[in-house]
Amino acid sequence: MFELVPSVNVADRSGQGSSAETAKIEYDQKRYSVLVRDNFSCQACGFKSKPERDPKKASDDSDRASGYLNVFHIDDWGPQTKQVNKDLVTLCPFCHQVFSIGLAGQEKGAKVIYFPHLSQGNINLLANLALVQAHQSDDNAYSDYAVRLLMWLQARATQAIEKFGEEVIDPKNLGAALFQLYKKHPDLYQSRGLILQGLRLLPTGIPHQKAIDWWSKTGAWTPNSQWDDLVGTWKSEE
């Protein structure tokens, strides 16, 4: 597991030409082996998905073949031609979007909240659980808790406004500010976790409905002690 800090993609890929194409081919070849190595589990929040096991269906839908997980190149500040297995990690979509928060804002994939008590990874895990359970509607006894949990997390945007101003709750604005920080003060950008303090990205699930539907159908979340532990964490802060 590694710590998630809101980031922007600052890698310079200009002028790579055929090298970039070679890197993409190498990435495509290694993608599935990385998913298997990581046991189809997000290396930032711990969420585990279930891939499509039918070879025919998997070949027709790469998202289902990966369980809607992403393989991410963690060396986001270097040339993409450096892609080797040790630099590739499996991330769920919610953790993946933390590395490109401007894009997350454009896709309405997240909102900015203030919640210093939980790490970004735990926020993503809570949101994942709640979105999947809420998607199942009345099919389980936890759907009401899930909706309440989402509303409670969304209300944390108020604290973000109070501490940092209204503009900051839009990830597009926060992404633009971080990009300018990187350009003008790259040393401060490396310490952005301290600057941002308790700001977190709260996934909305809007651009990830297919993933949420897949996780719901495949039982990625089955109400058990893990759910009870997560709800217990939430209720202790409620």
* Mean pLDDT value of segment 64-93: 72
- Give the separation between CA 78 and CA 67, rounded to whole angstroms: 28
* Mean pLDDT value of segment 101-128: 94
Tokens standing for 160? 């973000």
In this prediction, residue 81 carries a pLDDT of 33
- Give the separation between CA 90 and CA 45, rounded to whole angstroms: 10
- CB burial of residue 84 (10 Å; 0-12, 13-18, 19+): exposed
**Contact status, residue 188 vs residue 195, Cβ threshold 8 Å:** yes
Task: For residue 14, name the pLDDT band (cuts at 50, 70, 90).
Answer: very low
- Give the separation between CA 156 and CA 112, rounded to whole angstroms: 8
Give the domain ranges of the chain: 18-237
Task: For residue 133, name the pLDDT band (cuts at 50, 70, 90).
Answer: confident
Distances (CA, A) of 215 to 42, 49, 63, 203, 210: 14, 7, 12, 15, 9
* Mean pLDDT value of segment 101-110: 94
Say whether pLDDT at 229 is over 80. Answer: no
pLDDT tens per residue, range 138-197: 656 677 888 888 999 999 999 999 988 888 889 999 999 999 999 999 999 999 999 888
Other Cβ atoms less than 10 A from the Cβ of 217: the count is: 12
pLDDT tens per residue, range 21-42: 777 777 778 888 999 999 999 9
**Contact status, residue 150 vs residue 114, Cβ threshold 8 Å:** no
- Give the separation between CA 57 and CA 102, rounded to whole angstroms: 33
Closest CA to 101 of 13, 216, 181: 181
Other Cβ atoms less than 10 A from the Cβ of 33: the count is: 12
Q: What is the mean pLDDT of the chain?
A: 83
* Mean pLDDT value of segment 98-105: 93
DSSP 200: E
Closest CA to 74 of 57, 56, 50, 91: 91
pTM: 0.85
* Strand (E) or helix (H) holding 197: none
In this prediction, residue 108 carries a pLDDT of 95
The residue ranking higher by pLDDT, 95 or 238, is 95
